[in-house]
Amino acid sequence: MTTVTKNVKISDVGLHSGLPVNMVIKPSKKPGIFFKRVDIKDSELIPATFDNVKETMFRSTQIGNPKGAHVRTIEHLMAVLFILGIDSAIIEIDGPEVPILGGGAFEFYNLLERFVSDRTKMKKIVVKKTIEARRADLLREMPFWKRIRMMILNYTLGRHGDGYERLSPAYDKGLQIDCIIDYNNKAVGTQYYSFEFDGSKASVKDFVDNIAKSRTFGTYAEWDMLKRHGMALGSTMHNLIVLNERQDAVINKLYYPDEFVRHKIIDALGDMFTSGGFIHGRLESYKGSHELNNYVLRKLFSDSSNYEIIEAKGEKK
């Protein structure tokens, strides 16, 4: 197991709530990443696992426990914990949302990388069969009210029902993620990015240099809608890429021309870590999303012949 060597405190506003939030990542002897809402009385630990994901609609991943305590936008922090090999920590938080910081993973990485305990290898989850998760199937399986909400949201955001994700055994050195995004607006259009992570120092550096800073984006229409629902209140030009009214240009400066698709890699890494281990396989994501990331994991774990778990047994990294 690998944890943090001391309490690491991180404070900022939440992207959706816009309210200040304080988070303390604490060393732990218990395997797994757990959140704890310290602002709620008797709040139980919330395991950051795919089967506790409650909501993924508004471009963030939210986990919760049966008593109703929840934490949202965990994915960028989860991506960094994964990249650093931290598979054991208790994360105390005094609000419902992880601090947004720069909108990507870079700040989390900088704040945490000096405080990683002696590393041991992470539990491996080896993909044995090809798993496909299609948006159309996801919609079909949803309860009626949720499906209607999703359809309205897709219409508002200009998303189409043809997205899919595929997990396959095609890569055995670690996790390979191939992302394609395709948006109607000219500023984003079609973008492709591939990232291979094998746990080596070189692949950590690749993540930090080429992916970590990437932010998500919003169009005016979308952010207007989110704000009317009391969300995205903490979004600024610093932590979010904003497209202009005609959606043919970006208002703020981009870190990379294809920052949009690179951010999808962060989201996918963070979401794949809700598997509780290091997935060995290839994830192809075509118009992927937090919903599909979660769906592909639920499908993977629905049948034990789809995967093999190799425990680390204290092996050094």
Rounded least distance, CB 195 to Zn ion, Å: 15
Strands of the chain, DSSP E = 8-13, 20-26, 32-37, 46-47, 53-55, 62-64, 70-71, 88-93, 124-127, 131-134, 164-168, 175-182, 190-197, 217-218, 241-242, 278-286, 307-310
290 as an active site residue: the answer is yes
Interface with Zn ion, residue 259, by CB under 5 A:
no
| Spatial contact of 48 and 35, defined as CB atoms under 8 Å apart | yes
Q: Which residues contact 277 (CB under 8 A, 6 or more apart)?
A: 87, 122, 123, 124, 125, 309
C-alpha dist (Å) from residue 310 to 50, 51, 105, 200, 280: 19, 20, 28, 18, 10
Q: Which of 16, 263, 280, 290 is catalytic?
A: 290
Return the range that interacts with Zn ion (CB under 5 A); candidates 127-135, 227-235, 254-262, 267-275: 267-275
Return the range that interacts with Zn ion (CB under 5 A); candidates 111-119, 152-160, 162-170, 208-216: 208-216
Q: Provide the 3-class DSSP secondary structure of residue 70.
A: strand
Rounded least distance, CB 183 to Zn ion, Å: 15
- Residue 191, exposed/middle/buried by CB under 10 A (0-12, 13-18, 19+)? middle
Rounded least distance, CB 311 to Zn ion, Å: 30
Return the range that interacts with Zn ion (CB under 5 A); candidates 33-41, 109-117, 187-195, 260-268: 260-268
Rounded least distance, CB 249 to Zn ion, Å: 22
176 versus 216: smaller Cβ distance to Zn ion: 216
Judged by CB under 5 A, how many residues of this single chain contact Zn ion?
Answer: 2
Tell which one of 258, 267, 284, 291 touches Zn ion (CB under 5 A): 267
Rounded least distance, CB 214 to Zn ion, Å: 9
45 versus 265: smaller Cβ distance to Zn ion: 265
Interacting positions 31-50 with Zn ion (CB under 5 A): none
Residues in the chain: 317
176 versus 293: smaller Cβ distance to Zn ion: 293
Interface with Zn ion, residue 285, by CB under 5 A:
no
Please tell me what DSSP assigns to residue 147: H
CA neighbor of 43 nearest in space, from 80, 8, 79, 70: 70
Interface with Zn ion, residue 216, by CB under 5 A:
yes
| Spatial contact of 192 and 257, defined as CB atoms under 8 Å apart | no
CA neighbor of 273 nearest in space, from 101, 27, 49: 49
92 versus 267: smaller Cβ distance to Zn ion: 267
4 versus 105: smaller Cβ distance to Zn ion: 105
Rounded least distance, CB 146 to Zn ion, Å: 21
Would you name the residues annotated as active-site residues? 290
Q: Which residues of the chain form contacts with Zn ion (CB under 5 A)?
A: 216, 267
